[in-house]
């Protein structure tokens, strides 16, 4: 099963030649070239998500539970409708009032959300949660409290899970330890395959030159086993689909 997390970079004219209108076709090409069965996107505005839904054959956006607000940037799950059945799905805001639309707490710069579905591959018995989020880029407290909310919501269910997103912190940070610390069922897909000290960077400035650290993660629990994990550096003559490299993983179970 192939998985991908992809921060799309929201649509803004401030990006000039890298504005969404000039790269949206490349975004679709990169996704289709790697063919994730489950895809978590971040920063997508409603028009961006509508474009992807219209141009990704066989993919469905998991949004039936969503209150659509065209002012929002949403973490969104796309899945192969021909391969999966979806049971429970939902989302909540990472705040002290998680059911209040666009609520934010802990000095978060923006309202932040987690979205999820309970998936089962057709003709296979295992059901699992696929969870997608985008933690705040300014407030360390908001990131940590958001991580705690996600952990408390899903870990007690004792079901297999895959957690993807832009966590806006490097590995070994407080958020990383919250998700992978003592008693956690989750493992880091990157570190499952790469030797200690071999890290990657998931951000750049639309130029492909890595900067910062690995803030885009795919974490998963047993029985999933990682077979391949890599940053997607595809570009078209130096033009990149986003200012984040998508991160792709193949797992078996």
CATH superfamily of 2-252: Endonuclease/exonuclease/phosphatase (3.60.10.10)
Q: For position 33, what pLDDT does the model report?
A: 98
E-assigned strand segments in the chain: 2-7, 38-45, 59-61, 73-80, 84-93, 113-121, 127-134, 161-166, 187-188, 216-220, 225-231, 247-252
| Residue given tokens 């750049």 in the structure block | 204
> Per-residue pLDDT tens for 203-246?
999 999 999 999 999 999 999 999 999 999 999 999 999 999 99
Q: For position 252, what pLDDT does the model report?
A: 97
User: Which residue stretches of the chain have pLDDT < 70?
Assistant: none
Q: For position 31, what pLDDT does the model report?
A: 98
Q: For position 57, what pLDDT does the model report?
A: 96
Q: For position 196, what pLDDT does the model report?
A: 86
Strands in 216-220's sheet, in edge-to-edge order, are 84-93, 113-121, 127-134, 161-166, 216-220, 187-188
């Amino acid at each position: 099963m192939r998985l991908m997390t992809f921060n799309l970079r929201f649509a803004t004219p401030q990006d000039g030649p890298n504005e969404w209108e000039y790269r949206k076709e490349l975004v679709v090409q990169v996704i289709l070239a790697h063919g994730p069965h489950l895809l978590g996107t971040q920063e997508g505005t409603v028009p961006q998500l509508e474009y992807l839904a219209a141009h990704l054959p066989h993919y469905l956006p998991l949004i039936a539970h969503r209150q659509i607000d065209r002012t929002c940037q949403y973490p969104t799950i796309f899945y192969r409708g021909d391969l999966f059945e979806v049971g429970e799905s939902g989302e909540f805001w990472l705040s002290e009032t998680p059911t209040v639309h666009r609520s934010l707490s802990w000095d978060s710069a923006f309202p932040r959300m987690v979205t999820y579905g309970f998936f089962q591959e057709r003709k296979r018995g295992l059901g699992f949660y696929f969870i997608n989020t985008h933690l705040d880029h300014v407030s360390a407290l908001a990131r940590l409290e958001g991580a705690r909310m996600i952990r408390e919501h899903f870990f007690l269910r004792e079901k297999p899970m895959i957690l993807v997103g832009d966590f806006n912190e490097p590995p070994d940070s407080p958020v990383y330890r919250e998700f992978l610390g003592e008693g956690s069922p989750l493992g880091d897909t990157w570190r499952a395959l790469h030797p200690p000290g071999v890290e990657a960077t998931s951000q750049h400035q639309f130029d492909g030159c890595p900067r910062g650290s690995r803030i885009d993660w795919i974490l998963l629990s047993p029985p999933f086993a990682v077979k391949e994990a890599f940053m997607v550096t595809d570009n078209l003559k130096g033009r990149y689909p986003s200012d984040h490299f998508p991160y792709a993983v193949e797992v078996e179970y």
